[in-house]
Structure 1
């Protein structure tokens, strides 16, 4: 289950998860305005993961510049944040990825741009078999190596049966 962040207390929970995971990974912290933020609930009824989606115009200028040669004619959203607390990495990681597919399908986005840590990039490519294009070698972004990629997400939501891990989580109010 998931919930879109709408209140100050939900935003506090969102950033507590992001801050914990970013500190654990030694990533530079960042805050984005004008984005859709979501909390994902674990089986034990605790919030354990987050997803953030950003219209391109609200993305980090570094990201916009990096991807601009590749996305001129594409329907694109930036996913700057997927963070999962360590104890929930298996199940909630899949839920967060599934929610990103649902989000894009409902809003008509065909592609996702993102910079991914190398382990997560490998999981997207190998474990989830997601259709993606790596646009460059690993870059240093905010102090850590990340791989910039375009995820062709419409191929997933148009061919759901090809992705056995995919399920659309239920929204709660």
Structure 2
């Protein structure tokens, strides 16, 4: 299940999750206003989070604006940031829940692409389940290496719909995931 961050208490929980994960990786911390932030829960405990924000040419850490695939589409491009799962919950299905949520978010907002600077291991994990495309060389950013990546929303959803875990979420866990 997930909740959209709306209160100060939820903001504290959200920040606590990603700050713990980013400190673990040695990333520098950065805060933004005007973003959609979500907390993911398991058995009443906050275990993961993600931030989604409008793509901004001003805040580019990598020149995604130079990507041919994105030209003329920036009004339907969002950036995924702070995708974090607490260490003790990794490998227990939370990434799949978050990916399912992101696919539903993409459909609802009629997006064409997501951009992201992904930690190399996360990039490799997502590459197996999504059509994540590396669009530049690894670079050092905020304390660690990252892989500049884009996700074609329509192709990613098509690929997700082939996955067994995605079908299971869609058929059975949707109600559980969407509970507040």
Q: Could you state the TM-score of these two structures normalised by the residue count of structure 1?
A: 0.89
The match for 1:92 is 94
Matched residue of 1:6: which SS? coil
Relative to 1, partners in 2 of residues 1:34 and 1:47: Cα closer, same or farther, differing over 3 Å? same
Structure 1 runs of 4+ aligned residues shifted over 6 Å read none
The match for 1:112 is 114
Q: In 2, are the aligned partners of 1:51 and 1:100 still within 8 Å (CA)?
A: no
The match for 1:69 is 66
Listed as ranges, the gaps of 5+ residues in structure 2 are none
Structure-2 separation of matches of 1:50 and 1:134: 23
Matched residue of 1:112: which SS? strand
Q: In 2, are the aligned partners of 1:36 and 1:53 still within 8 Å (CA)?
A: yes
Q: Note the 1:1-173 alignment, pairs <5 A.
A: 1-42=1-42, 44-57=43-56, 61-63=59-61, 66-70=63-67, 71-74=70-73, 75-90=76-91, 91-126=93-128, 128=129, 130-158=130-158, 160-166=160-166, 167=169, 169=174, 170-173=177-180
Q: Could you state the TM-score of these two structures normalised by the residue count of structure 2?
A: 0.86
Q: In 2, are the aligned partners of 1:131 and 1:151 still within 8 Å (CA)?
A: yes
Q: Deviations over 1:59-87 (max 9, x none)?
A: 77123x51011122232110012000011
Relative to 1, partners in 2 of residues 1:15 and 1:52: Cα closer, same or farther, differing over 3 Å? same
Q: For the aligned residues, what is the CA RMSD?
A: 1.8
